[in-house]
Chain A
Amino acid sequence: MKREISRREFVKSSGALVVSFSAASFLEPFGMAQGPFDTHRSHVDPEKLDSWLAIASDGTVTAYTGKCDLGQGMFTAQTQLVAEELCVSIDKVKLIQCDTSVTPDQGTTSGSQSTPTNFNMENLAQAAATAREALVGMAAQKLGVPADQFTIENGVVKAKSGRRVSYGELIGDKHFDLRVSSTAKRRSPSDWKVLGKPVPSRDRVALMTGTFEFVHNVHVPGMMHGRVVRPPEIGATVASVDEKSVQHVPGLIKVVARNNFVGVVAEKQWQAEQAARELKVAWKPGPRLPAQKEFYDYMRKQPSRDVMLVDSHDVTEKLKSASRVLKATYLHPYQAHGSMGSSCAVADVQGQHATVWSATQSVYPTQHGISALTGLPLDSVRVIFVRGSGCYGLNAADTVSYDASLLSQAVHKPVRVQLTRHDEFVSENYGSACVIEQQAGFDTNGNIGVWECETWSVSYGDRPGYEKSGNVITGTLAGFAPDTITPRAAAEPAGELRNGSNAVPSYMAGCVDGKCGGTGSIRSERVLTHAVPSPFFTGPLRSPLRLQNTFAHECFMDEISAQIKADPVAYRLRHLRETRMIDVVQAAAKAASWEARPSPKPGTARTGTVTGRGIACVAYEGDNGYAALVAEVEVDQASGRVRPRRFIAAVDCGPISNPDGLRNQIEGGVLQGTSRALGEEITWDDRKVTSIDWQSYNTLPLGIEVPVIESVLINRPEAEATGAGETAITLAAAAIGNAIFDATGARIREVPFTPDRVKAALSARGGETLAAVWNNPNVDRALSGERPDCSPTRT
């Protein structure tokens, strides 16, 4: 019953009312039963209404969610959701996020899944709707009036007769003792009073006045300070640790070494920093790294795990009979999440109990990881989410939570670990490098009849989840194995198309076994993906693989339309079938006053500064959000500098919870995508990563000429909610690349579009900068494996 007390204490201390749980849910073996939403069932039983919310006698609502705010606005949107379904004002709702002792297990906050998870027909929204119906039922009984004769106004149930009773009077401080009803009726979007409105984010005032508590600000009585000492080179292992080398450092508590994990604990942060810097560790070197300049070729030569996503079995034959065939290869580098704040966590591991304050996106999975690392029973580990710096997928928040747990356990005191900037850059799981080969054949009318795509991505580690502590660096250093690639040939695709990584272009019909789940018209199609082992940890940097694939698909679509001399917007529409895709493309083009004509722009000069526009679109994960983006750029042909001037984004994410929050996500996504497209790239030498700070890793600072960003929001109140946070960023590189081509006639097929790369593409303008194109007689030669150079811009 310890855990019940824990939650009880928590809600008391947080000013909410007491909520307790039946003993039955404690008897279930933890982590064994598979619960709803594809997560493990926890002690907080998600089927019980009392797990999700409680109402105090003063009518205030405390709601519990397993999806957290990482700066993307989920706190505000979920608060709106609860207020809406319960018909109370937003100020009456207090939302508690992600704490393994008090909130339901909703897995990880990731993959643009938080809104779909809590806003569609289950979970938080359904719990609130269940509570509202139950309260009306109670009112009916109390007042002796039929339930359908009530209205609700800010937590007061009113009968037509004028009699009324408040939520607080009906349930205040008591349990509902109900199960969440799957049939409780959700409020109709046409009746919405709180949802759908541009509510200011709830954290705004605290953030702007420096009073918001980040995980970096957590202070625990008796807290010590830790620093880690990471291997100086990739794969280096500890030969010996000379503890005497730091004996002179004042305040030093302990040097901690476990396998290849090394850290120090001291009384003060500055002392820990000194000790970490001065500690002498002898490292055995790891294997040499593949050369960066040949890395894309290296990727293609590795044994791989292959997946055939879609295959119509007529691609070879259709390519042979096509009027013309176009081929191109696109390259995308490793990129960093590069959180603004180096990651931090506080752990208090003493005796048989651990409490960890963490900015993890996944308190329950991280609880499992910390249990595995410390050897403590799962039941004895509590992970409390406290927001960190924006993470964009998987920064070092999990790994630093492991660091803090190991160091705290070693000194039996609470320890705060702050990573350095260098630690952060070498501790995180990078977004995957990719090679994407495209080939399409079109008929004499210029319609694409066949499209083939083959991709290579890299993988090592990942989000640690419930079982895989080794998927992030600290787990591996402490002796746990990461996920690695087991080479495997592709099996025949079966069932419906799964396009979760957007490897299949939107223009394909997506037919597998006769079932079509694509969004376009092209029925001759083949998409083969290869995953190869990565020398560096990799993880889901937004939007994982979707961004890289979409860069390739949307640039290639542009290359084809240029070849056909068709307008890029009209040409896309010709091959799309999904109306929501068509709508976003048309909306973006209209808002941009798009001039229908082929690219490149006719009559532009070969010198000086020129301008152009480009478009890109995506059906995110096939059906989890729709977006189109127009970019208008200026290219200085002397320096090779690209300056985006204006972006116009059109986004359809179903019913919009908070238009202001959505615009904020679009604006940030477009510019982060721009920074990644123009400059971001992980670099390395033969032993180590060399992009280790903000001088060696590019990012666009505040002091740029910030482009105008206009957002067109397409609201679909009756549709299911989809993700929205990852759509705009997915399109930036492609839209900018297409705009550069429009302005200059130079196609750049490798991200980032650095000035040197742009200049190289400009000086190579002419026949050879076009993707390889050939008429029918040459097709046989190409298909026999003698491939033309498809990446002329590579240096």
Chain B
Amino acid sequence: MWGGMMAAISLKVNGRVHTVDVDPETPLLYVLSDELQLRGPKFGCGLAQCGACTVLLQGQAVRSCVMPVSAVKQKEVTTLEGLGTPEKPDAIQQAFIEEGAAQCGFCLSGVILTAKALLDEHPKASGEQIRDALSNVLCRCFAHTRMMRAIQRYQRGRA
């Protein structure tokens, strides 16, 4: 059966509560990028295969392109721009800045937030655990070497 009925939905994003009037089935990504005009999460595949739309949901990395906005409920959403600011970047963003770990940068929500979610929960994660967490995160410019260096830099800084 076709939904499509609009509903007022409240969600907490980057520390602020927003109310949007959308079909509850709308993917969280579209609410973040169209209704709230956030730039961090991006449409890469719409299939949860690449990671470009990644956000943190109570600290867990999730793919916002396949999550209906109604499923967010009271959980706090953090996007890449909510992690830190250009003036005061988060430590993992700072590590990526210092390593110059990007080319086009379209993939960064997936790379940075997936790594952050893992390392904040498991600061001593092994190389294998890090690789496992990033096993379905893509970067098609293949800035892999710098990104792995940046992730290691962040991990060292946390220790």
Q: Which residues of A contact B (CB under 8 A)?
A: 70-73, 200-201, 203-214, 216-217, 219, 225, 248-250, 268-271, 274, 338-342, 344, 387-390, 392, 418, 420-421, 660, 664-665, 667-672, 674-675, 693-695, 699-709
Contact = CB atoms under 8 A, between A and B. Distances in A.
A214 B103 contact: no
12 contacts: A71-B141, A208-B93, A211-B85, A214-B42, A268-B23, A268-B26, A268-B34, A667-B142, A667-B143, A671-B142, A701-B134, A704-B131
A340 B89 contact: no
B96 A208 contact: yes
A166 B105 CA distance: 38
Most A-side CB within 10 Å, residue of B79, B85, B135, B144? B144
Nearest to A213: B39
A341 B42 contact: yes
Contacts, number: 205
A420 B46 contact: yes
A212 B25 CA distance: 28
B84 interface: yes
Contacts of A707: 145
Interface in B66-124: 79-86, 89, 93, 96-97, 100, 102-109, 111-112
Contact of A217 (B33, B44, B97, B142): B33
A269 B34 contact: yes
B52 interface: yes
A640 to B, nearest CB: 20
B39 A664 contact: no
Nearest to B6: A250
Contacts of A271: 4, 23
A204 B148 CA distance: 17
A668 B143 contact: yes
B39 A702 contact: no
B135 A703 contact: yes
Interface in B124-149: 130-148
Contacts of B30: 268-270
Given A213-B39, A670-B142, 11 more contacts: A71-B104, A201-B100, A208-B97, A214-B106, A274-B2, A342-B43, A344-B43, A392-B140, A665-B103, A667-B145, A702-B134
Contacts of A671: 142, 144-145
B47 A421 contact: yes
A412 to B, nearest CB: 21
Nearest to A278: B2
Contacts of A344: 43
A344 B30 CA distance: 14
A671 B143 CA distance: 8
Given A208-B89, A340-B52, A703 B134 contact: yes
A562 B68 CA distance: 59
Nearest to A71: B104
A389 B52 CA distance: 11
Contact of A672 (B50, B52, B141): B141
Nearest to B4: A250
B49 interface: yes
B45 interface: yes
Contact of B81 (A211, A214, A670): A211
Contacts of A708: 145
Given A668-B143, A672-B141, A706-B144, A340 B50 contact: yes
B59 interface: no
B140 A389 contact: yes
A342 B29 CA distance: 14
Nearest to A203: B105
Report the contact-size class of chain B (Cβ under 8 Å from the partner). 35 or more
A672 B141 CA distance: 7
A210 B81 contact: yes
B43 A418 contact: yes
B144 A702 contact: yes
B42 A672 contact: no
Contacts of B137: 701-703
Given A209-B85, A694-B45, A667 B140 contact: no
B86 A339 contact: no
B145 A340 contact: no
Contacts of A694: 45, 47, 49-50, 138
B38 to A, nearest CB: 8
Contacts of A704: 131, 144
Contacts of B103: 71-73, 390, 664-665, 668
B80 to A, nearest CB: 3
A340 B135 contact: no
B140 A339 contact: yes
B100 to A, nearest CB: 6
A607 B138 CA distance: 33
Contact of A71 (B39, B82, B105, B147): B105
B106 to A, nearest CB: 4
Given A208-B97, A270-B22, A390-B140, A702 B47 contact: no
A247 to B, nearest CB: 11
Given A205-B89, A694-B49, A706 B145 contact: yes
The 3 closest A-B pairs by CB, nearest first: A71-B104, A210-B80, A210-B40
Interface string B1-33: 010111000000000000000110111001001
Which of B22, B27, B86 is the most central at the interface, judged by chain A CB atoms within 10 Å of its CB? B86
Contacts of B100: 200-201, 204, 660, 664
Contacts of A200: 97, 100
Contact of B39 (A73, A214, A248, A700): A214
Given A699-B140, A704-B144, A208 B47 contact: no
A340 B138 contact: yes
Contacts of B89: 205, 208-209
Nearest to B49: A694
Contact of A210 (B22, B45, B46, B108): B108
B132 A389 contact: no
A726 B30 CA distance: 35
Given A208-B89, A671-B145, A693 B109 contact: no
A208 B112 contact: yes
Contacts of B97: 200, 204-205, 208
A211 B86 contact: yes
Contacts of B5: 250
A667 B103 CA distance: 10
A643 to B, nearest CB: 13
The CB with the most chain B CB atoms within 10 A, among A204, A271, A671, is that of A204
Contacts of A212: 39, 105
B141 A209 contact: no
Contact of A693 (B49, B108, B147, B148): B49
B32 to A, nearest CB: 11
Contacts of A205: 86, 89, 97
User: Chain B CB within 10 Å — which of A207, A249, A340 has the most?
Assistant: A340
